Amino acid sequence: MLMIRFQRVGRRNQRTFRLTVTQKTTGADGKPVEFLGSWNPRTKAVNLKKERISYWISQGAKPSSSAHNLLVASGIIVGSKIPVHKKAEARGMSKDETPRETTPSQEVASQEAAPEAP
């Protein structure tokens, strides 16, 4: 299966990313099928080949979560962004934005911490 995902390039503390089409089983530094553009998070510069991205998506390539969000922000894909930051998972939210079930011990602890009304 083909994936559209980022490949990190650049020096330490000066990272930039290439948007590439690769096999899903290929490692992060593996040889890509095609380069589709670049993104510099420091300067917010985005250079994308829109026609080639549309072509690969029509051929069945799936973008990663971060690549999907960049494509939505650029207007290449229509839809909503996918939460990929670690804070959502730490708060008990999974990537599909559904809250995880709380255990009974967590419910009791939250009830004990809440002050009672006089």
Banded model confidence at residue 22, pLDDT cuts 50, 70, 90: very high
- For residue 22, the Cα-to-chain-centroid distance in whole angstroms is 16
Q: Give me the residue label for tokens 């510099």.
A: 40
For residues 78-96, give the mean pLDDT: 71
Q: Are 106 and 92 within 8 A, CB to CB?
A: no
pLDDT value of position 39? 94
Mean pLDDT of the chain: 82
Could you tell me which residue, 37 or 89, shows the higher pLDDT? 37
The pLDDT of residue 31 is above 80: yes
The pLDDT of residue 9 is above 70: yes
Q: Where are the domains of the chain?
A: 2-80
Could you tell me which residue, 16 or 103, shows the higher pLDDT? 16
Q: Which CATH class is domain 2-80?
A: alpha beta
pLDDT value of position 52? 94
Q: Are 32 and 22 within 8 A, CB to CB?
A: yes
Banded model confidence at residue 27, pLDDT cuts 50, 70, 90: confident
Banded model confidence at residue 104, pLDDT cuts 50, 70, 90: low
Q: How far apart are CA 115 and CA 2, in angstroms?
A: 54
pLDDT value of position 28? 77
Q: How far apart are CA 96 and CA 56, in angstroms?
A: 24
